[in-house]
Structure 1
Amino acid sequence: MPSDKTASPDNAPTPQDLTDDLVRLLSPIREGEDRFTGPAQPGGQGRVFGGQVIAQALQAAQATIGEDKQAHSLHAYFLRGGEEGPPIDYATERDFDGRSFANRRVVASQGGTPILNLTASFQAPEEGLSHQAAPMPDVPDPEGLVTDDEVRAKALEAFGEKMSAGQRALMMRPRPIEMRSSGRHQWLNPEPREPHSFSWFKTVGSLPDDPALHRAVIAYASDYTLLGTSVLPHGLSWMRGELISASLDHAIWFHAPARADEWLLYETDSPWSGSGRGYNRGRIFTRDGVLVASTAQEGMIRQARRKSGSD
């Protein structure tokens, strides 16, 4: 079970504690041949993080596949917002098992109500025609960038009084994924800018040598920053209470193995937004320029209405 450590000064979790808790979080408990229960986020409150549900569903699917095949893609639809705290149930269907490919379908439910549908495809490793047309972006190395934790602290100083106690606690909660973004943060900068962003990420501690777990952690982290790219041209921010949003779907293609406890560069862009929705794409590179995954997500984005005095 996840640890009950808190972020109090006298009992602050170490980076390795946070990483070990993430491993436990992304290790669903088998309740039957194809049924699993996902552990709850330690100290969680509010809406469950979408990346957690995607990663747990992927892990449930991976647990029903032999070691001869690896996940190469997943496609998920968010149906309802889940709640942090209660466990999440994962029912897996073995839709196809072939010599080269296999397919799994997972329904994530909470309290008997479906919150996410996910389909994952698996392939036996093989040699084939190979090319990489996408060059790695030329951005500063992570060592020269401030952490997103530092940026969150500055944002809290600027906008904390406008947040609820729960929102402030969520912002300051220690995180197992360290992120360092290149360029201006929309949290602090209201000026509209190009819908293109770059963030380095990795776990704050070491992970076991399990390729399936590293794919799950990458899936977990891929839900960070992606939807926010589509609001950059509009100069709006969740931090300032200007937006209402929710992820609608999420897709990942795993191109090559990668370690999630080593720096990975996440490049995101948004070609379009409209009709209350924003479309976003992402590419994930290793430090030596290998494209290891691609992502796509559409989400609901709506400008929050200001309350009038008569409301």
Structure 2
Amino acid sequence: MTDSRIVPASAEGASAPRRDANPGRPDGAPDPVAGLLAALDLTDTGARTSEDIYTGPSQWMPQGRVFGGQVLAQSLVAAMRTTPAERFVHSLHGYFLRPGDALLPITFSVDRIHDGRSFSTRRTQAYQEGAPILSMIASFQVVDEGLEHQIDMPADLPDPESVPSAAEALAGVDHPVARFWATERPFDMRHISSPVFLTVNGAHVAHQAVWLKAVSKLPDDPNLHRAALAYASDYSILEPIFRRHGLAWVTPGLKAASLDHAMWFHRYGRVDEWMLYVQESPNAIGGRGLSLGRIYDRAGRLLASVAQEGMVRVPRP
């Protein structure tokens, strides 16, 4: 990557993958969900200045860069640790500042910006070797009653059981990144349109829908499921931009990275049950593209809304 920002969720193969990048998983090939849970189990350092300090591991990635969804979810967990138990996250806004090294741990500092009668605000900074890689602000609210509506989930879509998994879509592809996409991520992702891992089939449109869920059951802690949803929300969010322009993750010369990520949590749902991630890109210009997403549970409840701007650069003709 020539850009100095964290590689986004699906961009473990954003440019043609190098076989010498971060060679060999140092801990073998652990269960993906166990790896996710370990990454989200932050350590309280006990240091107390004006901020709360936590540390957490980085997950192995085939190209050596920290996955943006990982550091986003960890930053949210750090903020949750400092917030009263009856207050739940309703929004977060993060900026990816530098690429993270997947072989190094991450330090998180949480500033307790505000605690009001109903809302709390936290700012989390994520660091590696003293340099910031992510800056995030999250807001928390006591559960309240009020007006309610939502955009309906798209109708007449195939059930997830009838859609090929990433493992099925990539069967027979002998490449470390393909194997990672297929079997080593903690979420089962199933593109309703054909995936854009290797090529773009069908119409070049700026929208898509993906079924996803954790590959095995998670503990019942609601905050864990919220953090895991933030983690998964970074998967595939830039793909509508690629699909519109006929780009696949392995298109030669393609460079893609998350610039920022915003998320609004509407309703609680379990991430180990099927969710539908509806995504569209309203605009791309100046080497940047904007993608919007809505995440529904299988019953059609709108769980969260997502917005991300990414750097997307392709070789000039």
Tell me the TM-score range normalised by the shorter chain. Answer: 0.7 to 0.9
1:304 aligned onto 2:304? no
Distance 1:172 1:258, change over 3 A: closer
Partner residue in 1 for 2:5: none
Give the unaligned 5+ runs of structure 2: 1-24
What per-residue deviation string (whole Å, max 9, x for no partner) do you get for residues 56-105 of structure 1? 00000001011110000000000111110100110100000011000000
Distance 1:169 1:86, change over 3 A: farther
Give the unaligned 5+ runs of structure 1: 8-12, 161-165, 307-311
Partner residue in 2 for 1:225: 236
Distance 1:234 1:71, change over 3 A: same
CA–CA distance in structure 2, aligned partners of residues 266 and 257 of structure 1 = 15
1:170 Cα deviation (Å)?
4.4
8 Å CA contact 2:206–2:240 kept in 1: the answer is yes
The residue identity in structure 2 corresponding to 1:270 is S
Distance 1:305 1:173, change over 3 A: farther
Distance 1:285 1:208, change over 3 A: same
The TM-score normalised by the length of structure 1 is 0.87
Query: Counterpart of 1:150 in 2: which secondary structure?
Result: helix
The TM-score normalised by the length of structure 2 is 0.85
1:173 Cα deviation (Å)?
5.7
- The aligned runs of 1:1-311 (5 Å cut-off) are 6-7=28-29, 13=30, 17-32=31-46, 33=48, 34-42=52-60, 45-153=63-171, 156=173, 167=177, 170-171=180-181, 174-186=184-196, 187-189=198-200, 193-304=204-315
Runs of 4+ in 1 over 4 A off after TM superposition: 42-45, 166-173
- Count of aligned pairs between the two proteins: 288
Distance 1:63 1:291, change over 3 A: same
Query: Counterpart of 2:220 in 1: which secondary structure?
Result: coil
Distance 1:83 1:137, change over 3 A: farther
1:199 Cα deviation (Å)?
0.6
RMSD: 2.1
- Comparing both chains, which one has the higher relative contact order based on Cα–Cα distances under 8 Å and sequence gaps of 6 or more? 2
CA–CA distance in structure 2, aligned partners of residues 93 and 216 of structure 1 = 19
The residue identity in structure 2 corresponding to 1:143 is E
What per-residue deviation string (whole Å, max 9, x for no partner) do you get for residues 16-48 of structure 1? x32222111112111135111111215765111
Distance 1:171 1:183, change over 3 A: closer
The residue identity in structure 2 corresponding to 1:54 is L
Identity of aligned residues (%): 45
Query: Counterpart of 2:170 in 1: which secondary structure?
Result: helix
Distance 1:271 1:246, change over 3 A: same
CA–CA distance in structure 1, aligned partners of residues 108 and 249 of structure 2 = 30
1:180 Cα deviation (Å)?
0.8
8 Å CA contact 1:244–1:302 kept in 2: the answer is yes
Partner residue in 2 for 1:309: none
CA–CA distance in structure 2, aligned partners of residues 6 and 209 of structure 1 = 28
Query: Counterpart of 2:227 in 1: which secondary structure?
Result: helix
1:175 Cα deviation (Å)?
1.5
What per-residue deviation string (whole Å, max 9, x for no partner) do you get for residues 245-270 of structure 1? 11100000000000011001000000
